[in-house]
Structure 1
Amino acid sequence: MFLASDNTGPVHPNIMQGLAEANDGFAMGYGADAIMDTVRAQVREVFEAPEAAVYLVATGTAANALALATLCAPWQTIFCTPVAHIHEDECNAPEFYTGGAKLTLVPGGDKMTPDALRRSISGEETRGVHGPQRGAVSITQVTERGGVHSLDELRGLTAVAEEFGLPVHLDGARFANALVALDCSPAEMTWKLGVDAVSFGGTKNGCMGVEAVVFFDPAKAWEFELRRKRGAHLFSKHRYLSAQMVAYLADGLWLETARQANASCARLAEGLKARGCNFLHPVEANMIFAAFPRRIHQKLHAAGAQYYVWDGSLEGDDPDEMLAARLVCDWSITPERIDAFLAHFE
């Protein structure tokens, strides 16, 4: 059973069908395909943003790095948390694509607080030409610890950014999981709160590999196009990105898969709680951080259920030592698989 990441799951059949249909005949390349026109209309409708500029790339790293490069000059700094994906897991791609903009880590956990953000922003632009200038604020939703910012929490952060005239980027690799957890609209979670650009994820939620970058101010559109091409992320056979996003958004599939993933995670969390596991972070979407004894980890590995992320060594003298694990549910995990995983805790 694979619980290491929602990247490990299969592509949803509807999206595979969309790819098969797009594979018929010929289509213009580089985003000029007719399917992309449908994508733009869909995304604008979903976000209630008729003027939004909408672009597709194949990876979340490209979406984040190119969006931030469009929002941030090389001599500026991007404000994010110490565990943000752009800091921990993107091999300095934001610094590379921005041409040298640094990251300023706002003290705290997986969520910034307005006070901490204000202090961090105030701490920059204090050395004139010698120091970094203030740049974009990047917020992760769902966070890397499985947390979901409430609308009030997001509003507090965007208000601080507005005080300093800074743009706001939302890393939404798990955007749909956060949205269904909050039971709000995409507009309420983004531009209505002051978000300027969003990386709208699809790959972790049933797609083969596609992310949308949405700018609510179309003034940034041409620059992003140039950066995407220059950065080698403009697909020639772009229709295969477009086809995924069309199928993903059609008839609310993206919300259905997110609800399935979140519901599976809730079932798993309830089972772990009943078995006395210690939770390291609240379970709010489709990610669990919990600790359970080494002997359980060993039992899971012996049974072939080892495909998850854990801390510490499986070899040790104390079978009851608690080792932390990260468990992530994707849209395809069934109740039977969850129950089979939990059975190893008996």
Structure 2
Amino acid sequence: MNFASDNVTGASPRILDAVVRANGGAMPAYGADPLSATLQARFRAVFEHPDLAVFPMVTGTATNAIALAAMVPPFGLCLCHQEAHVMDDECGAPEFYTHGAKLSGLPGTGGKIDPDALDARLAAMPRHVKQMPARALTLSQATEGGLVYRPDEVARLAESAHRHGLSVHMDGARFANAVAALGCTPAEVTWRAGVDILSFGASKNGALAAEAIVVFRPDLAETIEYRRKRAGHLLSKSRLLAAQLHAYLDEDHWLANAAHANRMAARLARGLAEIPGVRLAWSVEANEVFPILPARLERGLRAGGAAFHHWDSSSLPPGEAVGAEESFARLITAFSTTEAEVDAFLDLARRCA
């Protein structure tokens, strides 16, 4: 009953099989192999964009950091949600790769940036050489609170950013879960809504270790190839990375995996909501569940072998709070989570309650 993260799972058998198939024989190195050579065409078809550039990566941290480095100069500022992964969980990697740029947080319930707060911040930004100018906005899709931005919400935030001269980045570590939840096309929630660069995640959703920087603006793509190499993230055996991404996209495997994880989260949320004393902080839209639990229930769950994380309560909805005898938790389901695992957790919770 491990609901700590979708990083705790192994890889999808389909993707592992693809890596094994790509492993045989000799192929050119550093992305000159046939699998890497055809990857860009695959992404252009998925995103319905004839000119996008794609750069395979291994870690989400490097993917975000290198993408932001292409958008924000050392003297610049990147706006994000105050709980964004890029600010709280990447050990200063964006600042390091940008050679000194800063991240500045904005409020919003459930990890979603409040558009009025963004407008207010941009309108109040100083225009003096003594202050860092804002040059990029980054959105997490899905958010750290498991909520998703609809295409119109992305467009609203992107329009404000572009109007003030900012580029727009999307941290899509759980992009597949968001697309599966929205039922829209990848294009509708990215470049057609104003996103300039997407960090396309796969490792949380069945890949062994695979991400990609997807660039929709050719002028921003120019330096990323060099930045990736200089940072030590151009793999010599790139075919094994490309094989994962091909298998991930084949027959919409990425969306099937994400849809399953989302269904398991919905099943978990329904069951928790029926337990006395438990309430959900906000609706469950992707594969993350955020319940406020009686402290007694949380202790019983952990004693019974359940794994999950405490969570910060700073982006709870107005009027909501975690009481003295309560705990705020995050539970995440994955492509490999089974109904039996969810039901076992819920049975334990009912007994503890």
Q: Normalization by structure 2: what TM-score? A: 0.92
Counterpart of 1:233 in structure 2 is 233
CA RMSD of aligned residues (A): 1.5
Output one character per residue of 1:316-339: Cα deviation in whole Å (capped at 9) or x when no partner: xxxx93222110000101101110
SS in 1 for 2:222: helix
Code of the aligned partner of 1:299: G
1:82-93 correspondence runs (5 A): 82-93=82-93
Instruction: Identify the match of residue 345 of structure 1 among 337, 341, 349.
Output: 349
Counterpart of 1:295 in structure 2 is 296
1:104-119 correspondence runs (5 A): 104-109=104-109, 110-119=111-120
Output one character per residue of 1:80-119: Cα deviation in whole Å (capped at 9) or x when no partner: 1101111110111111000111112223341112221122
1:36-185 correspondence runs (5 A): 36-109=36-109, 110-127=111-128, 129-185=129-185
Q: Is the 8 A contact 1:80 1:103 kept in 2?
A: yes
Which shifted more, 214-223 or 192-201? 214-223
SS in 2 for 1:71: coil
Q: Is the 8 A contact 1:294 1:322 kept in 2?
A: yes
Code of the aligned partner of 1:275: I
Instruction: Identify the match of residue 321 of structure 1 among 312, 318, 325.
Output: 325
Which shifted more, 100-109 or 220-229? 100-109
Structure 2 CA distance, aligned partners of 1:134 and 1:296? 45
Code of the aligned partner of 1:272: L
Work out the number of aligned pairs and report it. 337
Code of the aligned partner of 1:117: L
Runs of 4+ with >4 A deviation: none
Give unpaired runs (5+ residues) of structure 1.
313-319
Output one character per residue of 1:197-246: Cα deviation in whole Å (capped at 9) or x when no partner: 00011011111111111111223323001111111111111111111101
Q: Is the 8 A contact 2:152 2:193 kept in 1?
A: no
| Shift, 1:282, TM fit | 2.0
SS in 2 for 1:130: coil
Counterpart of 1:279 in structure 2 is 280
Structure 1 CA distance, aligned partners of 2:161 and 2:330? 32
Counterpart of 2:318 in structure 1 is none
2:36 counterpart of 1:14: no
Structure 2 CA distance, aligned partners of 1:115 and 1:190? 21
Counterpart of 1:261 in structure 2 is 261
| Shift, 1:304, TM fit | 1.8
Structure 2 CA distance, aligned partners of 1:205 and 1:187? 20
Q: Normalization by structure 1: what TM-score? A: 0.94
Give unpaired runs (5+ residues) of structure 2.
313-323
Q: Is the 8 A contact 1:75 1:133 kept in 2?
A: yes
Counterpart of 1:32 in structure 2 is 32
Output one character per residue of 1:12-37: Cα deviation in whole Å (capped at 9) or x when no partner: 11000001001101121211121112
SS in 1 for 2:171: strand
Output one character per residue of 1:140-169: Cα deviation in whole Å (capped at 9) or x when no partner: 110001111122211110110121122100
| Shift, 1:311, TM fit | 5.7
Identity %: 45
